[in-house]
Amino acid sequence: MANLKEVRTRIASVSSTKKITSAMKMASAAKFKKAQNTLLKFRPYSDSIAALVHGLLPTKGMEGYMGSAKRTPRNALLLLICSNNSLCGAFNANIIKEAKRTHDRLRQEHPSIAVHFYCIGSKGEDLLRREGFTVVARNHECVDKPRFEASKEVFKELMSFYKEGRYDCIALVYNKFKNAATQELMVEPLLPIAPRERSKQRTQIPPIIEPSPRVLLSDLLPYYLQNQLHSAILESSTSEHGARMTAMHQATENASALYDELLLEYNKARQAAITDEILEIVSGANALNG
């Protein structure tokens, strides 16, 4: 059994750690609530734009619009959205593993393809560079405090890559928010636009569009693609705060359990020391009386 001084030192250390993790949990909870509110307000708008765009794409005359025609992929870009900070459980590790799996899958499907990464969040960039992957660009500022203006600048850069023919396809790899403890790994194509399957549950009534579907689509597509990127950043940011809040909650509970165990061990050690001292006193008294 450890001596009293060692146990007291460990108790003080665990108590200090518990205070830190508890404070971090409260800070993450406040950030999580704010990020969640922003995300839930943005989702209906983003979903409406997406539904409208994908409703127009199958319209006659829209084939091949805005790069939706198939290209033979020679160069692919994966936009990886991680975090700038750690202490958020497996949040970063899971998304980096998914990005590497996507990289390997593309190489298997197209042996001659070159796959590069665009990193949002320093944790992803650091690990990918260490493992020898090609990171062509980065923007770590827009993930801490997501703003549409910052997302728009990233989108402009991605769009220039695509229009110049530097990359034949661009995809987003990120964590989609489900709840504070659960994130869903997502790999979504950004460019070219991948048409969605139309619902067969009800008859689709052709809409009346003025002046024409092509004019409407040309105005909607930039908003749709920017919203898709910004939505992914919001989803990732909310997931990060939720994962950190959950991780700090678990760390605080673990610290509490360890604190109780150490306190019990300390009391046992102290009681044993007191018992030994009493035995020594009694033995000494008996020796004197004898």
**Is the distance from CB of 173 to CB of 98 less than 8 angstroms?**
yes
Q: How far apart are CA 69 and CA 63, in angstroms?
A: 7
64: left (phi over 0), alpha (psi -120 to 50) or beta: left
Q: How far apart are CA 85 and CA 92, in angstroms?
A: 9
pLDDT confidence of residue 74: 87
pLDDT confidence of residue 201: 47
**Is the distance from CB of 35 to CB of 237 less than 8 angstroms?**
yes
Q: Is residue 105 part of a domain?
A: yes
pLDDT confidence of residue 206: 64
Q: Is residue 253 part of a domain?
A: no
Q: Is residue 160 part of a domain?
A: yes
Q: How far apart are CA 172 and CA 118, in angstroms?
A: 9
Is the dihedral angle over the CA atoms 149, 150, 156, 162 positive or is it negative? negative
The domain that holds 144 is classified in CATH as 3.40.1380.10
**pLDDT tens per residue across all 290 residues of the chain:** 457 888 889 999 999 999 999 999 999 999 999 999 999 999 998 888 888 888 777 665 555 555 544 556 789 999 999 998 888 888 999 999 999 999 999 988 888 889 999 999 889 889 999 988 888 888 888 888 899 898 999 999 999 998 888 998 899 999 999 888 888 999 999 988 876 665 554 545 666 777 777 778 778 888 899 999 999 999 999 999 999 999 999 999 999 999 999 999 888 888 887 887 787 777 777 777 75
Q: In the sheet that 169-179 helps form, which strands lie side by side, from edge to edge? A: 135-138, 114-120, 75-81, 169-179, 182-191
Q: Is residue 75 part of a domain?
A: yes
Q: If we measure between CA atoms, which residue out of 191, 195, 183 comes closest to residue 225?
A: 191
pLDDT confidence of residue 110: 86
**Model confidence, pTM:** 0.84
Q: Is residue 24 part of a domain?
A: no
Q: Is residue 102 part of a domain?
A: yes
Beta-bridged to residue 177, according to DSSP, are 183
Antiparallel, parallel or unpaired: β 135-138 and 75-81 = unpaired
How many domains is the chain built from? 1
pLDDT confidence of residue 214: 76
Q: Is residue 218 part of a domain?
A: yes
**Residue 192 φ/ψ, nearest 5 degrees:** -70, 165
H-run or E-run covering 113: none
Q: If we measure between CA atoms, which residue out of 113, 27, 46, 37 comes closest to residue 78?
A: 113
Q: Is residue 63 part of a domain?
A: yes
Give the CA dihedral 47, 93, 136, 164, nearest 10 degrees: -30
Domain of 188, in residue numbers:
37-195+208-241
